[in-house]
């Protein structure tokens, strides 16, 4: 079977599972809602970053993104679904590549829409406090938001292929993103800038004093994602269905 029909089959799985469609919708709603709430807070001081305030909700939207990526892969490990998939597509590498594309494309599309909506909503809520924010910076943040959310969804997908459990993946990533990353960041200095979430979110800041820039930060996150997907591909190819 060629790649195109395999990809089509994997896309059907994505769009017909209500939990996955709901997960993509949650990415948009959570990010936009928390960005709007952040914009309502007018207590910012000298360190106020209008661009990060506009995209503050990404910190919460990424939880929905990793949940989508994890569930899309974990569904294959329930009820013998993976055996059926591999019976239809014996070439495991081709099947996993199709699965990755079927996850990554809608995640990127929703991520870009999320970035645009957050930009418009955030600037509207901030009002005059967003006066120093240029549209060039806003577009960079919106595109970076889409890329970052897609990369995090794929990072979770790769890790789930290794762990074979969405619960295990989320049990690792959610505490890491919400708690551990901030603790490590406060204790380890510049080394924490290379963690996947902190590196990728540099693009959402107007200015950044760390070692990475907006696009180099996304490249670091992409490297983490590539490593997770490579490990996931190895696990699919080497372990029993």
Instruction: Please report the pLDDT score of residue 101 as a whole number.
Output: 97
Please state the length of the chain.
241
Q: Check: CB of residue 50 under 8 Å from CB of residue 206.
A: yes
Structural domain contains residue 93: yes
Structural domain contains residue 241: no
Number of domains in the chain: 1
The mean pLDDT value for 25-39 works out to: 91
Kindly write down the DSSP assignment for every residue of 124-185, as one continuous string.
Answer: HHHGGGGTT--HHHHHHHHHHHHHHHHHHHHHHHHHHHHH--HHHHHHHHHHIIIIIHHHHH
Per-residue pLDDT for 189 more than 70? no
Structural domain contains residue 210: yes
Distance CA 28, CA 110 (A): 7
Structural domain contains residue 240: no
Distance CA 205, CA 108 (A): 20
The mean pLDDT value for 5-14 works out to: 93
Helix, strand and coil content of the chain, in percent to the nearest 5, comes to 85, 0, 15
Distance CA 216, CA 27 (A): 24
Instruction: Please report the pLDDT score of residue 150 as a whole number.
Output: 98
Per-residue pLDDT for 188 more than 60? no
Structural domain contains residue 188: yes
User: In terms of residue numbers, what domain contains 43?
Assistant: 3-235
Give the closest residue to 170 by CA, choosing from 83, 67, 68, 91. Answer: 67
Q: DSSP state, 57? A: T
Q: How confident is the model at residue 23 (pLDDT cuts 50, 70, 90)?
A: very high
Structural domain contains residue 19: yes
Three-state SS at 190: helix
Instruction: Please report the pLDDT score of residue 46 as a whole number.
Output: 62
Q: Check: CB of residue 232 under 8 Å from CB of residue 162.
A: yes
pLDDT digits (tens, 9 = 90+) for 84-111: 888 888 899 999 999 999 999 999 999 9
Q: Report the Cα 144 to chain-centroid distance in Å.
A: 11
Instruction: Please report the pLDDT score of residue 130 as a whole number.
Output: 73
Structural domain contains residue 197: yes
Low-confidence winner among 9-23, 33-47, 113-127 (lowest mean pLDDT): 33-47
Mean model confidence pLDDT for the chain? 90
- For residue 139, what are the contacts with CB-CB under 8 A and spacing of at least 6? 119
Q: Check: CB of residue 95 under 8 Å from CB of residue 5.
A: no
Q: Dig out the tokens for 123 from the structure.
A: 């600037």
Distance CA 70, CA 165 (A): 8
């Amino acid at each position: 079977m060629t790649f195109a029909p395999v990809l089509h089959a994997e896309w059907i799985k994505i769009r017909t599972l209500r939990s996955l469609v709901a997960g993509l919708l949650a990415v948009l709603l959570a990010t936009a809602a928390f960005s709007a709430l952040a914009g309502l807070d007018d207590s910012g001081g000298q360190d106020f970053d209008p661009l990060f305030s506009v995209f503050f909700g990404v910190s919460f939207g990424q939880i929905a993104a990793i949940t989508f990526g994890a569930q899309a892969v974990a569904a294959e490990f329930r009820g013998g679904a993976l055996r059926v998939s591999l019976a239809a597509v014996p070439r495991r590498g081709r099947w996993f590549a199709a699965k990755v594309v079927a996850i990554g494309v809608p995640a990127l599309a929703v991520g870009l829409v999320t970035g645009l909506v957050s930009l418009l909503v955030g600037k509207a809520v901030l009002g005059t406090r967003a006066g120093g924010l240029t549209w060039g910076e806003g577009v960079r943040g919106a595109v970076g938001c889409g890329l970052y959310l897609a990369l995090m969804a794929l990072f979770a997908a790769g890790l789930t292929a290794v762990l074979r459990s969405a619960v295990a993946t989320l049990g690792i990533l959610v505490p890491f993103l919400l708690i551990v990353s901030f603790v490590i960041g406060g204790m380890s200095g510049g080394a924490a800038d290379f963690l996947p979430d902190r590196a990728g979110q540099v693009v959402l800041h107007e200015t950044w004093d760390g070692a990475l820039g907006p696009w180099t930060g996304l490249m670091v996150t992409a490297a983490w994602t590539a490593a997770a997907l490579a490990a996931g591909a190895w696990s699919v190819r080497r372990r029993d269905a």
